[in-house]
């Protein structure tokens, strides 16, 4: 698919009443990008409703923002400073009644390209709206592994999923994506347990050695028709607290194959988490690797026998992105006829150059979302990484040097007018910040797009990165009363879960098809 122009902007969008835009704003509207055979029309979500009139008006302060967003910028830092220094940006600038997502379209004509068959060439700059929405879809699958994780150490079920797999998407609000969860995944570690692997302090804890790490899901009939294939998704959870990354990473490369002398090496801590198991455990008699691969193979076999086209998409944020690459390596090795792609957010390096080369040979396609200010993608190997190539001319290939895999989509917090101009390393790594920036991304040379629809309030769900003028409190997503409820006797207690939401190695097994 060819792209005729390089910028997407506002002049062709039907939901803005251009008669109410100031003349200066009209002059700055850039030509939109046109995609052949594409019926997609993106709508600006930033609007203001004039309470004294039925017409939609955009105040001068917001017009200045539109001017900055749609103008072709060569200096994003200067642009951002101008936007973020605007003291009049308030909640009154926005119409909170606009929908947070657009109707979905049939994207089957771009199925293979959206899954990376051509390394997403011609789809990233400018970012094709169909690809943007798919990235956000997989990002929301990743986010659900945080939203549904019971991180309360006083809970009997701390470290598990809050909901049974049949209720997960309903409770998290992801039914609209049209996928069904078929299996939950659990992991344990034989290395010294890092802090983020929360353990329940409850005397009758559901498990002392396992944690819920994600799930396998598959697209339903309607969604499969829309995207052009039966999509098997694996979503891996990342660390609970981003500041603990220095403790999580062991910084030691080891062979990923049974042959210890293999030059294909990955980070020890990630590999241990993915492959560890124990006979005395309830949930990890099989490793996370064995759990996920048995389910993927079962689903592939089931749908291929029906003559369907199948794809595997593995997603994760932070540590979840590292597990996604290990999973992709194994899936592509075991199922060479099935396309495997990875959509990751803020993921660290996982292995050495030989590992990356082997992934390429296997045909794995990886698209990495990386925020410029996020330090996690710079780890491990913050000193010894792919930038040391010039030394290898003298020393030869260095097997202990870490390298990234795949195509990078670079993001910058300074492009968003909604974010504080501050230094917040945990905030820079937050997955909701990633999804916000993807939603506003057009190209590396453009500002934040006005057609972004994702609710900005989600940014402050677990952070305080939103500008205070917008009026959203920081870290608002909290469990009421720390999970306690008042019982019929007037005593505050931890409530019992409904039977469907109680962890069970049998109930969490594969779905009968």
Higher per-residue pLDDT: 96 or 170: 170
Cα distance between residue 186 and residue 236, in whole Å: 10
**Band of the pLDDT at 511, cuts 50, 70, 90?**
low
Owner of token pair 């040379």: 445
Region of 376 (left: φ > 0; alpha: ψ -120 to 50; beta: rest) is alpha
209 a catalytic residue: no
- The model's pLDDT over 293-328, given as tens digits with 9 standing for 90+, comes to 999 999 999 999 999 999 999 999 999 999 999 999
Mean pLDDT of the chain: 78
- The model's pLDDT over 413-431, given as tens digits with 9 standing for 90+, comes to 999 999 999 998 889 999 9
Cα distance between residue 191 and residue 193, in whole Å: 6
Q: Which residues of 403-418 are buried (b: 16+ CB within 10 A; e: fewer)?
A: bbbbeebebbbbbbbb
With a cut of 50, say whether residue 291 has pLDDT above it: yes
Work out the percent of the chain whose per-residue pLDDT is above 70.
Answer: 71
Mean of the pLDDT values across residues 175-194?
82
CB count within 10 Å of CB 102 equals: 15
Catalytic residue among 150, 374, 501, 508: 374
Residue 228, C-beta contacts closer than 8 angstroms, at least 6 positions apart: 107, 108, 109, 110, 111, 112, 309
With a cut of 80, say whether residue 450 has pLDDT above it: yes
Give the pLDDT confidence score for residue 347 in this predicted structure: 95
Rounded to the nearest angstrom, the gap between the alpha carbon of residue 273 and the centroid of all alpha carbons in its chain is: 20
Catalytic residue among 219, 318, 341, 446: 318
Domains of the chain (ranges, CATH numbers):
1-98+413-470 (no CATH), 127-411+479-501 (3.40.50.1820)
Catalytic residue among 150, 429, 436, 446: 429
CB count within 10 Å of CB 259 equals: 9
Give the pLDDT confidence score for residue 281 in this predicted structure: 85
- The model's pLDDT over 117-143, given as tens digits with 9 standing for 90+, comes to 999 999 998 999 999 999 999 999 999
261 a catalytic residue: no
pTM above 0.75, yes or no: yes
Which residue from 370, 374, 362 is spatially nearest to 326, judged by alpha carbons?
362
Angle between helices 319-334 and 268-275 (to 10 degrees): 60
- The model's pLDDT over 246-290, given as tens digits with 9 standing for 90+, comes to 445 556 888 887 766 678 999 988 898 899 998 888 889 999 999
69 a catalytic residue: no
User: Of the given ranges (92-96, 310-314, 460-464), which has the lowest mean pLDDT?
Assistant: 92-96
Residue 456 is encoded by which pair of tokens?
């900005």
With a cut of 80, say whether residue 78 has pLDDT above it: no
């Amino acid at each position: 698919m060819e792209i005729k122009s390089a910028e997407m902007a506002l002049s062709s969008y039907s939901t803005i009443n251009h008669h109410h835009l100031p003349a200066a704003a009209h002059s700055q509207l850039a030509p939109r990008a046109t995609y052949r055979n594409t019926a997609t029309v993106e709508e600006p979500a930033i609007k203001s409703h004039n309470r004294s009139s039925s017409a939609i008006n955009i105040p001068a302060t917001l017009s200045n923002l539109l001017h900055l967003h749609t103008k072709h910028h060569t200096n994003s830092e200067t642009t951002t400073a101008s936007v973020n220094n605007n003291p009049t940006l308030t909640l009154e600038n926005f119409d909170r009644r606009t929908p947070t997502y657009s109707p979905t379209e049939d994207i089957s004509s771009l199925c293979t390209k959206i899954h990376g068959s051509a390394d997403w060439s011609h789809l990233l700059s400018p970012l094709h709206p169909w690809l943007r929405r798919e990235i956000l879809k997989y990002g929301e699958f990743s986010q659900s592994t945080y939203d549904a994780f019971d991180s309360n150490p006083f809970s009997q079920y701390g470290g598990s999923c809050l909901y049974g797999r049949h209720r997960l998407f309903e409770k998290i609000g992801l039914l609209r994506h049209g996928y069904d969860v078929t299996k939950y995944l659990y992991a344990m570690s034989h290395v010294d347990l890092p802090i983020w692997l929360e353990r329940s302090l409850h005397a009758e804890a559901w498990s002392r050695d396992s944690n819920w790490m994600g799930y396998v899901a598959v697209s339903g009939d309607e969604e499969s028709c829309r995207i052009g294939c039966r999509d098997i998704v694996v979503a891996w959870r990342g660390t609970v607290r981003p500041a603990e990354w220095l403790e999580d990473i062991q910084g030691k490369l080891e062979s990923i194959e049974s042959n210890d002398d293999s030059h294909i090496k990955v980070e020890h801590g990630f590999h241990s988490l993915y492959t560890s198991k124990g006979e005395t455990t309830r949930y990890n008699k099989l490793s996370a690797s064995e759990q996920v691969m048995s389910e993927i193979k079962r689903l592939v076999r089931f749908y291929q026998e029906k003559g369907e086209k199948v794809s595997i998409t593995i997603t994760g944020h932070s540590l979840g992105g590292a597990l996604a690459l290990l999973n992709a390596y194994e899936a592509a090795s075991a199922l060479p006829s099935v396309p495997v792609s990875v959509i990751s957010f803020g993921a660290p390096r996982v292995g050495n150059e030989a590992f990356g080369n082997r992934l390429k040979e296997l045909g794995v396609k990886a698209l990495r979302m990386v925020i410029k200010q996020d330090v996690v993608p710079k780890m491990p190997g913050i000193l010894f990484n792919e930038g040391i190539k010039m030394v290898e001319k003298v020393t030869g290939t260095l097997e202990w040097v870490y390298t990234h895999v795949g195509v990078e989509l670079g993001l910058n917090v300074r492009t968003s007018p909604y974010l504080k101009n501050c230094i917040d390393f945990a905030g820079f790594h937050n997955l909701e910040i990633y999804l916000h920036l993807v939603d506003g991304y057009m190209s590396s040379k453009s500002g934040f797009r006005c057609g972004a629809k994702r609710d900005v309030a989600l940014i402050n769900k677990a952070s305080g990165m939103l500008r205070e003028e917008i009026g959203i409190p920081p870290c608002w997503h909290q469990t009421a009363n720390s999970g306690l409820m008042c019982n019929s006797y007037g005593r505050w207690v931890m409530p019992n879960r409904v039977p469907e939401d109680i962890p069970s190695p049998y109930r969490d097994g594969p779905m009968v098809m």
